[in-house]
Amino acid sequence: MLALLLLLQAGSPEIIVTGQKLVEEQAKCVHGDCTPLRDAQATIALAEQRFRDGDYLKAKYLLAAAIRRNKDKGSEAPRPVAAIYEAMATVALHEGDQNAYRRAVAGQVKTLRDNLPADDVAVLAASTALGDMWIKLGNYRQAAATYRGIEDQALAQGRAHPAIMAGMKRAWLAAAQGERREAARMLDELEQRPIAQQPGYRTALRVLRLRLAARDGDDAAITRLAEAIGAEQGAVPILIWQPPYPASADAVDIGRAQDLNGIAVRPGGSTDIAAIQWIDVGFWIRPDGRTEDAEILRGSRTSGWAPAILRQITGRRYAARGEAGEADVPGSYRIERVTPRYQYTNKVGSLIRRRMPAPGFEVLDLTASEAAMPPAGG
């Protein structure tokens, strides 16, 4: 929910405070003494505190009450009202209330569509939100049908952007379900559309190709596509906040073998603790500064710490782009090589230098011509 606060504060000089003062500020909104913007700022901030403390129910009740106070104010302040719905969707999903989650996503989409121009970046970004919702609920058939309905309606109305966005979602869903040939056919068709020649969409379609190549284990195709994607994109978005990395790979509770996005990762044993470990992570940076679709593209055998890196990337926030048109909506795609830090050292009582774990991780942007990554801990 931090992303919502960053977005809301960007248009307001007011700073949300914390602690008891925040409780008092939010109480004013409960009594109707706040604008919708201030209500969204204070209530989302307080709900986030409750959420981080593990009190999901209190966070949900706070946001539900804010929705009741502001549901009729969408025409006055569509973005703050939509932000309250979005925060509610996040909490409800984590708390397990699927009905509340569905209602919140529907409310967010309706608020934006009814009160902002059709070509507004927020409306465009929300064009496939209902299909995304069904994926999170595990109803892939309904998700595919929703994307197909969005695509067909948009094509009938001559709206190329939502049509291709929904089409790309359909192609990726088909690939995720093992229908690789059908996914490739969909991509071939999408690439023939005029809008696909615009730089943003050309890059987005290449990203889809790259993700399919990753599932097929085609390292040569991944490398080739990563270079092409990096050459097409402009300046790297500015990172404004990120969660801390794990202290080290050795500090991560690796647990049992896992399968992340179709890429098998298994923990290393005591005999290979100093083995070379690395992963390549692909993810989108959307125009609003949020990250999306972080996934392991490839990596070494001993990468049981990978889930912690995915969580770190998912929590990042980049500077939002002030003006973004239809062609910018896909955002920027980044591939980062993440390697746990090691150092050669002599253990106490030994003259043999050994490669041992050290705090932090090394991070390299494989899609940038010049890597300028922030420190990755340690």
Contact assessment for residue 319 and residue 237, using Cβ atoms and an 8 Å cutoff: yes
Residue 273 lies in a domain: yes
Using the 3D structure, point to which of 72, 99, 116 is the last residue of a domain: 116
Residue 348 lies in a domain: yes
CATH number of the domain residue 337 falls in: 3.30.2420.10
Residue 157 lies in a domain: no
Determine the pLDDT at residue 225. 78
Residue 353's Cβ-count burial label (10 Å; 0-12, 13-18, 19+) is exposed
Using the 3D structure, point to which of 116, 149, 171 is the last residue of a domain: 116
| Mean per-residue pLDDT pooled into runs of 10, the chain (378 residues) | 50 54 89 92 90 85 95 94 93 86 94 89 82 88 93 90 91 89 93 90 86 80 76 69 75 41 39 65 87 88 82 85 58 86 70 73 71 42
As given in the structure block, the two tokens for residue 173 are 């869903």
Determine the pLDDT at residue 290. 85
Determine the pLDDT at residue 281. 92
Contact assessment for residue 317 and residue 32, using Cβ atoms and an 8 Å cutoff: no
pLDDT tens digits for 42-76? Answer: 999 999 888 877 788 899 999 999 999 999 999 99
Determine the pLDDT at residue 219. 80
Residue 187 lies in a domain: no
Determine the pLDDT at residue 269. 39
Determine the pLDDT at residue 355. 64
Determine the pLDDT at residue 148. 93
Cα–chain center distance at 215: 19
Torsion over CA of 291, 120, 8 and 91, rounded to 10 degrees? Answer: -60
Residue 222 lies in a domain: no
Determine the pLDDT at residue 103. 94
Residue 129 lies in a domain: no
Q: Is the pTM of this model over 0.75?
A: no
Residue 166 lies in a domain: no
- Determine which helix (DSSP H) or strand (DSSP E) holds 343, and give its type and residue range: strand 332-346
Q: How many domains does the chain have?
A: 2
> Which residue is listed with tokens 């403390």?
53
d(CA 378, CA 208): 34
Using the 3D structure, point to which of 69, 88, 116 is the last residue of a domain: 116
Determine the pLDDT at residue 243. 85
As given in the structure block, the two tokens for residue 75 are 């025409």
**Contacts of 203 by beta carbon, 8 Å cutoff, 6+ apart:** 229, 232, 233, 330, 333
For 331, the domain range is 239-365
Buried b / exposed e along 294-329 (16+ C-beta atoms within 10 A): bbbbbbeebbbbbbbbbebbebbbbebbeebebebb
Residue 266 lies in a domain: yes
Contact assessment for residue 4 and residue 86, using Cβ atoms and an 8 Å cutoff: yes
